[in-house]
Amino acid sequence: MQARGARRVVIVAAPPVRMIDVFGPAEVFTDASRLSDGEPAYRLEIVSAGEDSVVAGHAGAPLLAGGTYRELRDPIDTLLVAGGPGAREARYEPAFLEWLEEQSAEVRRLGSICTGALILAAAGLLDGRRATTHWNWCGELADKYPRVKVDPDPIYVKDGNIYTSAGVMAGVDLALAMVEEDLGGAIALRVARQMVVFLRRPGGQSQFSATLAAQSCADRQLGDLLAWIADNVDADLSVSTLARRVAMSPRNFARVFAREAGMTPARHVERIRLETARRQLETTSRGLDEIARLSGFSSAEILRRAFARHLGVTPGRYRASFGRAAPLR
């Protein structure tokens, strides 16, 4: 029996499913229900998109779902479709797409995790809507479903009552955002702390973080430098200074950096400083002058210009949209 006030959350797995696409969001809703005051906030169910409640897993181990989508009867509050090879390779029943279309008119929220967006698109539910998925399959989503307004950059997108998220761990970000919508920031923060994750990487945050460059750089020496830059954003990060750290001439360093990182040193430094400033705006109540200093910008005005150039918004508006602290004065 559903607890009074509990929101029924159903996560659907299309075999073979990527397990973390199911269990990442599931853990968020489960912890939120446990940590909320009073009666449980959510009633979570995991079901199969096929005829069998045993769902093949992407990693080999099967997932034993609570049943199949065909067996669901009571109203659903939030319906999420998990991704994996089953979503990309259309390994699901046509009847399942019909069921999704029917549910889309009934549920309060409908969403996808990672490549689950391909299933929503196959059901026609993303036509005319802005949506995202894992960056590696955004091109496929756009090619197969040209009526979908694919945005490869954000980690999740909300268009009306339909939510789509980027790869793997972005499903946790999306679930936390939903918890925050339902129960408020305090509960969402408790869940994030319980799971030892960031409370919020906002939907507008790029999948292509400059801080990831150090992990993918083939040149070990340059990779170490990129990691050092991320830890020292307020230091002198001029081309000449960075070149000395790797014992190169400035000209050769700029050439190697652009080849390995895909951008000039100055552009990378500005992007990583901008990311630092965004985190400060999202999570602290510091003023713009202090944030500019901590992020390595020479002044608040230079920081404002960087926001306008890269994000098209002011720092104050960004904080109003994504931050928890008081607005900038």
- Give the integer Cα–Cα distance in Å for 244 and 99: 62
Asked if residue 197 has pLDDT above 80, the reply is no
Nearest by Cα to 161 from 110, 202, 115? 110
Per-domain boundaries in the chain? 7-195, 209-329
- Give the integer Cα–Cα distance in Å for 204 and 322: 9
- Output the six-digit token pair for 43: 């009633």
Residue with tokens 């999948």: 207
- Give the integer Cα–Cα distance in Å for 243 and 39: 59
Compute φ and ψ for 203, nearest 5 degrees: -55, -30
**Sequential DSSP letters for 4-48:** TTPEEEEEEEPSSB-HHHHHHHHHHHHHHHHHSSSS-SEEEEEEE
Mean pLDDT of 281-296: 92
Torsion 31-63-75-159 (CA) sign: positive
Mean pLDDT of 192-197: 80
For position 189, what pLDDT does the model report? 81
Mean pLDDT of 48-63: 91
Report whether 153 contacts 159 (CB < 8 A). Answer: no
Q: Give the DSSP letter of residue 60.
A: S
Give Cα 13 to chain centroid, integer Å: 19
For position 2, what pLDDT does the model report? 41
Nearest by Cα to 241 from 225, 260, 223? 225
* Pairwise pLDDT comparison (68 vs 318), residue with the higher score: 68
Q: What is the pTM of this model?
A: 0.69
Q: 44 forms bridges with which residues in the sheet?
A: 9
Report whether 260 contacts 293 (CB < 8 A). Answer: no
For position 69, what pLDDT does the model report? 97
The rounded percent of the chain whose pLDDT value lies above 90 is 62
End-to-end CA distance of the chain: 50
Asked if residue 44 has pLDDT above 70, the reply is yes
Residue with tokens 């599931």: 26
How many CA atoms, within 13 angstroms, populate the side-chain half-sphere of residue 81? 34
Element (H, E) at 63: strand 63-64
Asked if residue 205 has pLDDT above 60, the reply is no
CATH fold of 7-195 reads Rossmann fold (3.40.50)
For position 85, what pLDDT does the model report? 92
- The 10s digit of each residue's pLDDT in 110-165 is 999 999 999 999 999 999 999 999 988 999 999 999 999 999 878 899 999 999 99
Residue 327 banded pLDDT, cuts 50, 70, 90? low
Residue 218 banded pLDDT, cuts 50, 70, 90? low
Asked if residue 102 has pLDDT above 70, the reply is yes
For position 226, what pLDDT does the model report? 87
Mean pLDDT of the residues in the chain: 88
Residue 209 banded pLDDT, cuts 50, 70, 90? low
Q: Class assignment of domain 209-329?
A: mainly alpha
**Sequential DSSP letters for 124-178:** TTTTTSEE---GGGHHHHHHH-TTSEE-SSBSEEEETTEEEE-STTHHHHHHHHH
For position 3, what pLDDT does the model report? 43
